Amino acid sequence: MFVPAAGEWRPPAECSLLLPAVSVGNVGQLAVDLIISTLDMPKVGYFYTDCLVPMVGNNPYATSEEHAKELCINAEIYASSDKKLAVLQIRSPLIKKKSRAFCEALTSWIKKCAFTRVVLLSSSHAYQRDDTQLFGTPFRYLVTPTLQTMVADTMKELEWKEMEKLSLYPGINDEEKKTSIPGGGFTKRLFEDCCSMGIHMAAVLKFCSEGDNIPDAFALLDHVNRWLHLLDLPDDVGTAHWKIPSSWRLLFGSGLPSALF
């Protein structure tokens, strides 16, 4: 359920929604952090749900000591009217067995807001790739049938690679295949729900491993930026200038206390 931060907020006409999946390496969430910080997007509300692990913390995008005192919770919505873009940032994992309820609540809100398109940023375990996925680009995408007709030419022009369907019984019966996104969190379930509800949705993911996933977040965002044009590219440079949020200074903790030495 959407709860406005102040007053009432409605998405503008032809507004897109961008959100992350809580997946391997938190790549989608890190990429969304970069978008919010770079575009200086104001908070417009919260997505209230009992499906996420509760959490509270300081403002992750604070630019001054005063702003640092503001609080953030597990699911917040930011928006840019100039870009016609809304961003849902998710900061905590789903509670066990709450995935279906969360996706139902999310798709219901998406339908109510009538977003032009929904883009989910996700990731998948690199070590669980099929042999055919070991070569070429580490990026994959999925689009719902309703969006496929609208972006087919664009995806072909960008030379993006669609997520392969893998055999249910490799070497025994290669006719039966399914979409598999190991480590992708609720990516597959949300995609299937959007397919059944006729929502214009695309999932863009990167194969990666746990560790320092900041480079993966930058790579995924640059990849998506080629399609969405969130930020203009500098001349003769293939990557945009994304602004790192202040909270990333403690991404790996505050370091060892000097008293130990």
Task: For 207-231, write each residue's pLDDT tens digit.
Answer: 999 999 999 999 999 999 999 999 8
Give which of 140, 113, 133 is closest to 27, Cα–Cα: 140
* Run of H or E including 193: helix 187-197
Q: Is residue 3 part of a domain?
A: no
The CA distance from 160 to 236, in Å, is: 21
Total domains in the chain come to 1
Q: Is residue 27 part of a domain?
A: yes
Q: Is residue 196 part of a domain?
A: yes
Q: Is residue 259 part of a domain?
A: no
Q: Phi and psi (nearest 5°) for 78?
A: -120, 155
Q: Is residue 2 part of a domain?
A: no
Token pair in block for residue 29:
């969430």
**pLDDT for the residue 169:** 61
- Single pTM value for the model: 0.91
Poorest-confidence range of 101-110, 140-149, 167-176?
Answer: 167-176
Q: Is residue 91 part of a domain?
A: yes
Poorest-confidence range of 58-67, 76-85, 197-206, 222-231?
Answer: 58-67
Residues 6+ apart with CB under 8 A from 162: 140, 141, 142, 143, 155
49: domain range? 12-250
Calculate the average pLDDT of the chain.
90
User: For residues 205 and 124, is the Cβ–Cβ distance under 8 A?
Assistant: yes
User: For residues 208 and 138, is the Cβ–Cβ distance under 8 A?
Assistant: yes
Beta bridge partners of 125: 208
User: For residues 177 and 166, is the Cβ–Cβ distance under 8 A?
Assistant: yes
Tell me whether strands 85-90 and 201-208 are parallel, antiparallel or unpaired: unpaired
> What residue type is assigned to position 79 of the chain?
A
Q: Is residue 260 part of a domain?
A: no
Name the percent of the chain lying above pLDDT 70. 93
Token pair in block for residue 195:
């397919």
User: For residues 45 and 113, is the Cβ–Cβ distance under 8 A?
Assistant: no
Q: Is residue 258 part of a domain?
A: no
Residue 209's CATH number? 3.40.50.10900
